[in-house]
């Protein structure tokens, strides 16, 4: 019985601490636009930017995939249109 009461008290204390944290967060409220820009700037400093060589290779990979997908879709479209024309006409 005593153990159950003890666990209940711990649970209540945990819930109170969580409610306190939520209340403190709400109290913080909105920040001004200057603080918003400072936060953005600090996050951008943490970004690992690619080198020129990496950027070029990533760009070429994207272009190759796009061209490949366009060719595939074009071939499927052409094939289906030829099939449709054979069936209909």
- 39's tokens: 């936060």
- 4's tokens: 């159950």
What pLDDT was estimated at residue 6?
57
- Considering the domain architecture, whether residues 19 and 61 belong to the same structural domain is answered as no
- Considering the domain architecture, whether residues 39 and 55 belong to the same structural domain is answered as no
- Considering the domain architecture, whether residues 65 and 87 belong to the same structural domain is answered as yes
Name the residue with tokens 């969580």.
18
Calpha distance 13→19 (Å, rounded): 10
Q: pTM of the full predicted structure?
A: 0.51
- Considering the domain architecture, whether residues 9 and 43 belong to the same structural domain is answered as yes
Counting Cα atoms < 13 Å in the Cβ hemisphere of 33 gives 0
Q: What is the pLDDT of residues 3-47, one digit of tens each?
A: 555 566 788 888 888 888 777 776 666 678 899 899 999 999 999
- Considering the domain architecture, whether residues 42 and 60 belong to the same structural domain is answered as no
CB 67 within 8 A of CB 60: no
State the residue range of the domain holding 1. Answer: 1-47
- Considering the domain architecture, whether residues 72 and 86 belong to the same structural domain is answered as yes
Structural domains of the chain, count: 2
- Considering the domain architecture, whether residues 42 and 9 belong to the same structural domain is answered as yes
- Considering the domain architecture, whether residues 30 and 2 belong to the same structural domain is answered as yes
Calpha distance 84→82 (Å, rounded): 5
């Amino acid at each position: 019985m005593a153990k159950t009461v003890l666990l209940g008290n711990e649970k209540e204390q945990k819930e109170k601490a969580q409610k306190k944290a939520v209340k403190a967060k709400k109290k913080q409220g909105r920040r001004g636009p200057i603080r918003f820009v400072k936060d953005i700037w600090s996050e951008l400093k943490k970004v690992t930017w690619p080198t020129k060589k990496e950027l070029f290779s990533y760009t070429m990979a994207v272009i190759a995939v796009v061209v490949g997908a366009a060719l595939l879709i074009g071939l499927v479209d052409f094939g289906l249109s030829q099939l449709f024309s054979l069936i209909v006409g």
